[in-house]
Structure 1
Amino acid sequence: MEFRHLGRSGLLVSEISYGNWITHGSQVEEDAALACVRAALDVGITTFDTADVYAGTKAEAVLGRALKGERRAGLEIFTKVYWPTGPGRNDRGLSRKHILESIDGSLSRLGTDYVDLYQAHRFDHSTPLEETMVAFADVVRAGKAHYIGVSEWTADQLREGHALATELRIPFVSSQPQYSMLWRVIEDEVVPTSEELGISQIVWSPIAQGVLTGKYLPGQPPPDGSRATDENGGRFMQRLMSDEVLSRVQQLKPLAEQAGLTMAQLAVAWVLQNTNVASAIVGATRPEQVLDNAKASGVKLDADLLKAIDEILEPVAERDPARTYETSPKERP
Structure 2
Amino acid sequence: MEFRNLGRSGLRISAVSYGNWLTHGSQVEEDAALACVRQALDEGITTFDTADVYANTAAETVLGKALAGERREGLEIFTKVFWPTGPGAHNDHGLSRKHIMESIDGSLRRLGTDYVDLYQAHRYDHETPLEETMLAFADVVRAGKALYIGVSEWRAEEIRAAAELARELRVPLISNQPQYNMLWRVIEAEVVPTSEELGLSQIVWSPIAQGVLTGKYRPGQPPPAGSRATDEKGGAGMIERWMRDDVLTKVQELAPLADQAGLTLAQLAVAWTLQNPNVASAIIGASRPEQVTDNVKAAGVTLEADLLAAIDDVLGDVVERDPAKTQSPRRSEVLG
Q: TM-score range by the shorter chain?
A: over 0.9
* Structure 1 residue 163 corresponds to structure 2 residue 158: no
**Alignment RMSD:** 0.5
Give a deviation string over 1:75-132, Cα, whole Å, max 9, x none: 0000000000112210100000000000000000000000000000000001000000
Give the TM-score normalised by structure 2. 0.98
Cα distance between partner residues in 2 of 1:41 and 1:23: 17
Cα distance between partner residues in 2 of 1:214 and 1:101: 42
Give a deviation string over 1:168-215, Cα, whole Å, max 9, x none: 000000000000000000000000000000000000000000000000
Cα distance between partner residues in 1 of 2:317 and 2:194: 26
Q: What are the within-5 Å matches in structure 2 for residues 6-21 of structure 1? A: 6-21=6-21
Aligned to 2:191: 190
Matching residue within 239, 242, 245 for 2:241: 239
Cα distance between partner residues in 2 of 1:209 and 1:127: 31
| CA apart distance, 1:330 | 2.4
Aligned to 2:154: 153
User: Match of 1:110, as an amino acid?
Assistant: L
* Structure 1 residue 320 corresponds to structure 2 residue 332: no
Give a deviation string over 1:28-74, Cα, whole Å, max 9, x none: 11000000000000010000000000001000000000000000000
Give the TM-score normalised by structure 1. 0.99
User: Match of 1:4, as an amino acid?
Assistant: R
User: Match of 1:235, as an amino acid?
Assistant: G
Aligned to 2:256: 254
| CA apart distance, 1:268 | 0.1
| CA apart distance, 1:315 | 1.1
Aligned to 1:307: 309
| CA apart distance, 1:314 | 2.0
Q: Secondary structure at 1:61's aligned position in 2?
A: helix
Cα distance between partner residues in 2 of 1:162 and 1:35: 38
Cα distance between partner residues in 2 of 1:100 and 1:295: 38
Aligned to 2:281: 279
Aligned to 1:108: 109
Aligned to 1:75: 75
User: Match of 2:282, as an amino acid?
Assistant: A
Q: Secondary structure at 1:314's aligned position in 2?
A: helix
User: Match of 2:62, as an amino acid?
Assistant: V
| CA apart distance, 1:296 | 0.2
User: Match of 1:285, as an amino acid?
Assistant: S
Q: What are the within-5 Å matches in structure 2 for residues 152-231 of structure 1? A: 152-231=153-232
Cα distance between partner residues in 1 of 2:109 and 2:316: 45
| CA apart distance, 1:239 | 1.5
Aligned to 2:84: 84
Q: Alignment identity in percent?
A: 76
Cα distance between partner residues in 1 of 2:123 and 2:316: 28
Q: Secondary structure at 2:221's aligned position in 1?
A: coil
Unmatched tracts of structure 2, length 5 or more: none
